[in-house]
Amino acid sequence: MKITKEKLKQLIKEEVQKSLNERKSLSDAEVGDFLEIEISSDGYDTSVLPIDPNEYENKMSMGMGQKMLVKVVQVAEDYAEDKPKFSPEEIAAAKARAAKFGL
C-alpha cells in the first residue's frame, strides 16, 4: 500500500495529537499550556482540548460560534477538604472589615 506524503503528514499529526490528549487531561493543565476551545453557535456544546500551538488550525467548522487558542496564565489552587478555605490572615482581615460596619 502506498501512502502519499500528505496522508503520512496527516497520520503523524493525528498520532501526535492523540498522544498529547492521552498524556494530559484538563485537570493537569499548568501555567504555560495551550488549550483549544470551541463553543457552538447555540452555546450548548463546548470542547476544551490541550493542544500544541503549532498544530492549531485557525478555521471554524460548521455550527461553531467561537474557536480560540488560549494560553493558561494562572491555575486555581486545589483545596483539600481538610484544609481551611481561608488563611488566618484573610479571616482576621474579613473580621476587621465586618467590624467597621458593625457586623
- Residue 34, domain extent: 5-75
Kindly state whether residue 17 falls inside one of the protein's structural domains: yes
pLDDT of residue 81: 62
Total count of domains within the chain: 1
**Judging by beta carbons within 10 Å of its beta carbon (0-12, 13-18, 19+), is residue 1 exposed, middle or buried?**
exposed
- State residue 22's pLDDT score: 58
Q: What is the pLDDT of residue 44?
A: 75
Asked if the structure places residue 84 within a domain, the reply is no
What is the mean pLDDT for each group of 10 consecutive residues in the chain (103 residues)? Answer: 74 69 66 86 79 86 81 78 71 82 71
Supply the DSSP symbol for 80.
Answer: P
Residue 30 inside a domain? The answer is: yes
Report the run of H or E that residue 38 belongs to, with start and end: strand 34-40
**Per-residue pLDDT, 90:** 81
Bridge partners (DSSP) of residue 69 are 36
Determine, yes or no, domain membership for 28.
yes
For residue 93, is it within any domain?
Answer: no
How confident is the model at residue 38, as a pLDDT?
84
Residues in the chain: 103
Q: Which residue's C-alpha cell is 486545589?
A: 78
Kindly state whether residue 82 falls inside one of the protein's structural domains: no
pLDDT for res 42? 76
